[in-house]
Homo-oligomer: A and B are copies of this chain.
Amino acid sequence: MTELRKRVTALDVAHAAGVSKTTVSYVLNQTPNQSIPAETRRRVLDAVRDLNYTPLSAARALRRGHNDTVLLVMPDWPLGRTLALVLDALAVELESQGLSLLIRRQHHGQSLSGMWRELAPAAVIALGEVEESEEEAILAAGIFAATALLTSPSSPRTAVVVPQDAIGALQVRHLAARGHRQLAFAGPGDPRFAAFRNLRLDGARRACEELGLPDPEALDVDPSLEGAIAAARHWLERAPRVTAVVAYNDEFAAALVAGLHQLGRSAPGDLAIIGVDNEPLARFISPSLTTVDQNHELVAAHLAQLVVNGLAGEPAPHPLHSDALTLVVREST
């Protein structure tokens, strides 16, 4: 077993450079209104390099009252492709600003309060609704708070929006433009997806209403070949016959395409199908999938900007409308 080596502290650097801890700190933090001669600065920096000194974030956090960390709290959602890409891009983006992203899931009954009080992050990003009193408490602790809602914001707060309802609406408008009137919605029955599913369905419903189309029938589908076959059969035999399906995502869409094929039918002739996520394999399905692409880079950049501006006391960036959403038209519709 190797012997435990003592940590190199600012005091060690101070000694090596022949100055005090204070000066070391001033140099390293480039504290304003301190005029330290270049020569002294160089000596400190040399010592830092020679000793391989790194300030301990815990000590700094204790003194400053907060970390250089952004705490992202999310419900216990399954990690889909888009969410994973957004979070990854966000982490990279924040890192480039000297911030760490710490992602925590909030399981049922776990208190949000405990998480941020324990960590004392610079900012908290909540995915999904947060109680007003909780948000107040976060702000009162001097922590910047942002909320990433899945729907259009009801209040003009610091809420970034990744509007799931806009996805459903976009899907419906595309199908309507192709002449379809009798639509159906195919999504997961699993309650873990409910937050996303329900909002997409809502958006689809509202769009149908606006376009004067009948309300789309929502069906829980098992995204297997058998589940898809059953669903497709149901729609084809139904009166009035469904001619197009809004799928929860590309997996459901792909299952339906394959199911139709098994029935000797095909998209879009017998049933038009549109997915969401623009999975890498979506274009290689045959017929290739029409889908909605969520621009994860844009969403991540926006979230990062919101936090960075907030920490700097600058105004929030302009809200993301549906710019982050792109319709990718292929063969299945």
Q: Which residues of A contact B (CB under 8 A)?
A: 2-5, 7, 52, 54-59, 61-62, 65, 67, 79, 81, 84-85, 88, 91-92, 95, 100-105, 113-114, 117-120, 136-137, 139-142, 223, 225, 250-251, 254-255, 257-258, 261, 279-286
Contact = CB atoms under 8 A, between A and B. Distances in A.
Contact of A254 (B4, B120, B257, B284): B284
A285 B283 contact: no
24 contacts: A2-B136, A2-B140, A3-B140, A4-B141, A52-B113, A54-B118, A56-B62, A56-B118, A57-B118, A58-B67, A91-B105, A92-B105, A100-B104, A101-B103, A223-B280, A250-B281, A251-B281, A254-B281, A254-B284, A255-B284, A258-B283, A258-B284, A279-B280, A279-B281
A88 B95 contact: no
Contact of A261 (B57, B137, B286): B286
B141 A58 contact: no
Contacts of A54: 113-114, 117-118
Contacts of A84: 79, 84, 88
A3 B62 CA distance: 20
B282 A120 contact: no
Nearest to A280: B251
A204 to B, nearest CB: 22
B79 A85 contact: yes
Contacts of A52: 113, 117
